[in-house]
Structures are given as C-alpha cells and as structure tokens.
Amino acid sequence: MQPFIVIRNYRDDDELKCQEVVRDYIMSFARKSFCCFCFREITLQFIVITWAILFIFLGVPLTFCALTIPGCIFFLFSGTYFSFYAKAVELMKTKPSHSLVAECYEPFLFRCKPNEVTYLIFMENAPYELTYINKFRKKIIATVSVKNHNSVYNGAWIYRFAIDKQYPFHKIAEPMINLVSKNCFATGYTTLECTISEWQEDERDFFDNLGFATRQIYHKQIIGSSLTVMKTQLTCDLRSDEALQKKN
C-alpha cells in the first residue's frame, strides 16, 4: 500500500501531537548549536577566566584546574540544551491560529525509513474510501501557524513551523508554505514574514527557492553582547507576479 500525507486545517484535538512535533523539531538544533558555541571566542575566555580564578585566588593546583575544561563544556551544553528547551516550551504553549498540519498515513507493518519512501501528498482530504484509510496508522508530522505581524503593516508572520526530522523536509514544507501563502493572500495580507537562525541552512535554502528575500540580519543577545545568535528575517511579497506564480 502506498503511504500518503494529507495537509489539512488544524483541529483542537491535534494540539498534543503538534506540541510534540514542535518540541522535537526545536530540540533537534540543540546539538548543532552546541558545536557552534564550542568554537566561539567567549567559550575560550570563559575557560581561561575560570582556570585563572581557581589557580590564583583559590590556590587550586594546575592539574586540577584542567578539570575546568570539561566542566565548562558541560556547563555550555547544559545552558544550550535548556535554552532550546525553554524556547520549545514557549512555542508549545503558544495558542495557534490559522494553522495547518501534515498528517502521515502509513501501513501498520511499515519497515522502511521515511526518507527512503515516496509519499503522495493530498490537500485537505485523501481520495480514498474510509475502509481503505482505516488500514493505515496515522500521525501528525508537521505543523505551521500564521498570525498578524507585530511591526509590519498588513504582514503575516510564520511561527510554530516544525517538521519531523525523519521525513523529507522540502517535499512536505513546500506545499504547506504555498498553501499558507495562498490563504494569506486571500485574506488580504501583502507580505509573509519568517525568521530563521544561523544553523538552519536547509531552511534558508528552502525559503530562498520559494521567493523569500532577506529583510534584515541581526544578532539576538543571549548573554549580553558577548554571546549572540545571528537571525535572518525573510519576507515574501504576496502581491508580486513572480511570487504568485511560484505559489500556483
């Protein structure tokens, strides 16, 4: 039996599954972010300062001062993990509006990896009888929400956008974002905005291919001006002919 995916409107009973998808998606970037932070200048400075305090002020032997290196690395990992977890919890608690979900239908005895399978994608409803659909197990693998932008006039903001990492990102994300763009244009929005972080290279390429342009690049402070994360705000003009052709 051919597995398939249905992209449909969000329902209230989808909330728990959507929260799991959002949490797992956000936490999937924690390791990559930790590796990036390990090679930041502030990490070396933190290790040197800790070593100096232990040796000069507390009289700890140099041999034991070397333990500050794994200690600082562990502290950095803990801080990174809990920062991402706090962001995931924040998005999980955010009430969605104008949301879509991608629901995957797979046979009960399904041993293939999702990235190795070709999925049929349908909008809103699958063209099958109920008796056939009941032969599949289903689960939500992606979600996206849109709300009014706080600082851009007549602009829509993409948030709570998450896709299960086991499934092909581009194949699922493209029809979802295209449908979001059509709905926003029909509602009367003129622009569609989103923000990605520096370690989201695949997402950046994906939005570039869909016609999104860079509005601004800024650094979000984590610990003062010493530890920052580069963010990119992307925008898509829903009124342009090129954007409309890509959505169609």
Distance CA 132, CA 3 (A): 12
Q: Quick one: DSSP state of residue 126? A: -
Decide if 119 contacts 131 (C-beta within 8 A).
Answer: no
Burial bucket for residue 65 (CB in 10 Å: 0-12, 13-18, 19+) = middle
Report the pLDDT value the prediction gives residue 241, as an integer from 0 to 100: 45
**Of the listed ranges 8-22, 48-62, 102-116, 200-214, the one predicted with least confidence:** 48-62
| b (16+ CB within 10 A) / e for 131-155 | eeeeebeeebbbbbbbbebeebeeb
Report the pLDDT value the prediction gives residue 178, as an integer from 0 to 100: 92
| Model confidence, pTM | 0.81
Question: Could you tell me which residue, 230 or 234, shows the higher pLDDT?
Answer: 234
Band (pLDDT 50/70/90 cuts) for residue 226 is: low
Using alpha carbons, select from 142, 122, 166 the residue that is nearest to residue 18.
Answer: 142
| Token representation of residue 220 | 């979000």
Q: What is the pLDDT of residues 162-183, one digit of tens each?
A: 999 899 888 999 999 999 999 9
Taking the domains of the chain in order of start, what are their residue ranges? 4-247
* Residue 141: pLDDT over 70: yes
Helix, strand, or coil here: 154? coil
| Token representation of residue 100 | 């879509």
| Matching residue, tokens 């997402």 | 203
Band (pLDDT 50/70/90 cuts) for residue 232 is: confident
| Token representation of residue 228 | 């920052």
What is the pLDDT averaged over residues 137-144? 93
Band (pLDDT 50/70/90 cuts) for residue 223 is: low
Distance CA 114, CA 242 (A): 32
Report the pLDDT value the prediction gives residue 98, as an integer from 0 to 100: 85
Q: What is the pLDDT of residues 76-134, one digit of tens each?
A: 888 888 888 888 898 888 877 789 999 999 888 877 888 888 889 999 888 888 888 88
* Residue 62: pLDDT over 80: no
Report the pLDDT value the prediction gives residue 23, as an integer from 0 to 100: 93
Band (pLDDT 50/70/90 cuts) for residue 222 is: low
Question: What CATH architecture does domain 4-247 belong to?
Answer: 3-Layer(aba) Sandwich (3.40)
End-to-end CA distance of the chain: 29
- Partners of 140 in the beta sheet? 103
